[in-house]
């Protein structure tokens, strides 16, 4: 059995609209800008630490499924995803969920086995884009948003799924779906940590 994570970047790791959300509604308290492919991508180091811990604890094999294509591994290394430079990336004919789903299905047709636990992290996931591989492998989808990226709650859902504790679908829409901002974006400063959500404990931190 293999644990797989098919990982997008924009809207999943890169919460590029996070600063348009009021600070008290932001999914992470430490959003920060980094230089990426197009503009100042917005990343949470705590989210990255949580992903690193998840990937390590559950021996997750990560495959990039992003329009970033060959640039994805380099960006992953830059933002601190351990081993990201060695993760394979899917070649896409076009950047849409149908072609991503098709590429994932072709990948699993070669290497997938019964009992594999598979998560697709994709901000533009739509039910109509489902391919047979989703049902065949009992795969799940995590659906972050450009306002949040992967949330603490989603990390916990992923942990339970890889641990075999979650037979129900792990599909979740964004935890935060804010209205259009009425004020200028907040500056890139650290905000107080929200206390209304459970955040995974990261080894080596307090």
At residue 134, φ and ψ (nearest 5 deg) are: -65, -50
Mean pLDDT for all residues in the chain: 82
Kindly report, residue by residue over 80-121, the tens digit of the pLDDT.
999 999 999 999 877 788 889 999 999 999 999 999 999 999
Domain ranges of the chain: 3-162
DSSP letters spanning 77-114: HHTT-TTGGGS-B---SSSSHHHHHHHHHHHHHHH--T
* Tokens linked to 51: 């992903």
> Which residues does residue 33 pair with via DSSP β-bridges, in sequence order?
42
Instruction: Report the distance separating Cα 81 and Cα 132, nearest Å.
Output: 30
pLDDT at residue 143 is higher than 70: yes
Mean pLDDT of 18-47: 87
What's the topology of domain 3-162? Rossmann fold (3.40.50)
b (16+ CB within 10 A) / e for 115-134 = ebbbbbbbbbbeeebebebb
CB within 8 Å of 159: residues ≥ 6 apart: 54, 57, 58, 200
Mean pLDDT along residues 48-71: 96
């Amino acid at each position: 059995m293999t644990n797989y994570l098919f990982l997008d970047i924009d809207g999943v790791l890169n919460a590029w609209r996070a600063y348009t959300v009021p600070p008290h509604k932001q999914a992470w308290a430490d959003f920060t800008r980094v230089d990426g492919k197009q503009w100042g991508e917005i990343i949470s180091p705590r989210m990255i630490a949580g992903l690193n811990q998840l990937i390590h604890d559950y021996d997750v094999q990560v495959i990039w499924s992003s329009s970033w294509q060959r640039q994805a591994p380099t960006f992953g290394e830059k933002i601190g995803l351990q081993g990201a430079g060695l993760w394979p990336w899917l070649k896409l004919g076009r950047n849409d969920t149908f072609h991503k789903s098709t590429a994932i299905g072709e990948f699993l047709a070669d290497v997938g086995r019964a009992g594999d636990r598979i998560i697709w992290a994709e901000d533009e996931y739509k039910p109509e884009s489902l391919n047979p591989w989703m049902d065949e492998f009992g795969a799940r989808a995590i659906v972050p948003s450009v306002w949040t990226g992967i949330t603490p709650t989603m990390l916990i859902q992923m942990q339970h799924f890889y641990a075999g504790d979650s037979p129900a679908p792990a599909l979740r829409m964004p935890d935060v779906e804010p209205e259009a901002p009425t004020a200028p974006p907040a500056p890139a400063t650290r905000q107080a940590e929200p206390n209304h959500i459970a955040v995974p404990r990261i080894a080596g931190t307090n």
